[in-house]
Amino acid sequence: MIKTLLLAGGVGGARFLRGLSAALPPDQLDVIVNTADDDTFHGLHVSPDVDTLLYTLAGKVDRTQGWGLRGDRFDTMDALAAFGEDVWFRLGNQDLATHLFRTAALQRGESLTEVTRRQREALGVSVRIRPMSDDRVRTIIHTPKGKLAFQEYLVRDRARSDVLKITYAGIRAAKPAPGILETIARADLILIAPSNPFVSIGPILALPGVRGAMRKTRAPIIAVSPLIGGRTVKGPADRMMRGLGFAANPSGLVSIYKGLLDGLLLDQKDQQHQRGLLADGLAVACLPILMNTAAKSRHVAKAALSMAAALRSQPRKAV
């Protein structure tokens, strides 16, 4: 039995996981999800990336936007707006149940790991999707106008600000969730989803012990690029890469993940970078990586698993 571990953020992670979970039995697949963009809205603990993965695997996600629940309405938000509340982070009626359930459980003293387990059971999701930590970590976006919580930067301000620096408040005191380091150590294959390397994958890697466990593993580590022709499908990762001094291309991505990767899946539109990456010792596959259908998600997942099968007989490169 080959144990596969996926590190994932929200929409990109969900699109890839949709294909991966179709290709692997659920007991061979673990997913560690970013929670550094969790935030509190109207007193409710919202875990956007966890929810996006759960809703996607449950077949309930709003496919057009990639997050939230299909067909959800916004009666509660509209009524909150009438009370003068700021409702730029709009939570649907049914989606609210997720946050009410989570918040009440956390207030009773349950861990985020435990709540997430109960939520995936209720949603019939058999893949072990787990939050990266039970402790609160917050991605802070430093802009010319000051610091913003990630959701303020992304949702409220629509990612319009320049990004000078990104920090993870609380990361030093945070512990990886129970079992996370063991799951990394025991994995036969580690995949990094095509999620934002700074705000989705970065916090997971920055947790004490995680990067060390990833460097020590003999399992190949393969990333799927979030770029297509040097641009992200969705979200500000490309602009963040440029703003933070990286090239917005696969070489820039490898620099961000420095010392970790054995393989990289690129989009065909970034094929010109393949030669340089191969020269660095990285395994590279070029294919269409836009995953806007379930079939395309499966195709990308299978390409990652094929590359892994080839790499597992070789010593790690960790480029």
Query: How near is the Cβ of 92 to a second copy at its closest, in Å?
Result: 8
x-or-dash string of contact with a second copy, 6-45, rule CB under 8 A? ------------------------------------xxx-
Q: Which of 114-122, 160-168, 257-265, 310-318 is the region at the interface with a second copy (rule: CB under 8 A)?
A: 114-122
Closer by beta carbon to a second copy, 73 or else 165 = 73
CB 266 within 8 A of CB 283: no
**Interatomic CA distance for residues 204 and 210, integer angstroms:** 7
295 binds a second copy (CB under 8 A): no
CB 261 within 8 A of CB 282: yes
Q: 200 Cβ partners below 8 Å, 6+ apart? A: 8, 9, 10, 12, 13, 34, 37, 49, 193
Among 84, 109, 146, 315, binds a second copy (CB under 8 A): 84
111 binds a second copy (CB under 8 A): no
275 binds a second copy (CB under 8 A): no
118 binds a second copy (CB under 8 A): yes
CB 41 within 8 A of CB 77: no
Q: Which of 8-16, 89-97, 142-150, 239-247 is the region at the interface with a second copy (rule: CB under 8 A)?
A: 89-97
Q: Which of 97-105, 162-170, 199-207, 286-294 is the region at the interface with a second copy (rule: CB under 8 A)?
A: 97-105
For residue 24, which of 168, 156, 191 has the smallest C-alpha distance? 191
39 vs 31, 193, 243, CA distance in Å? 21, 22, 24
Task: Assign residue 272 a region (left: φ > 0; alpha: ψ between -120 and 50; beta: otherwise).
Answer: alpha
Tell me the site size for a second copy, rule CB under 8 A. Answer: 29
109 binds a second copy (CB under 8 A): no
57 binds a second copy (CB under 8 A): no
86 binds a second copy (CB under 8 A): no
Closer by beta carbon to a second copy, 52 or else 98 = 98
User: Sign of the C-alpha dihedral, residues 72, 75, 81, 85?
Assistant: negative
**Interatomic CA distance for residues 170 and 173, integer angstroms:** 6
Half-sphere exposure of 118 (CA within 13 A, CB side): 12
82 binds a second copy (CB under 8 A): yes
Closer by beta carbon to a second copy, 80 or else 247 = 80
- Contacts with a second copy by CB under 8 A lie at 42-44, 72-73, 75-80, 82-85, 93-98, 100-101, 103-104, 107, 118-119, 122
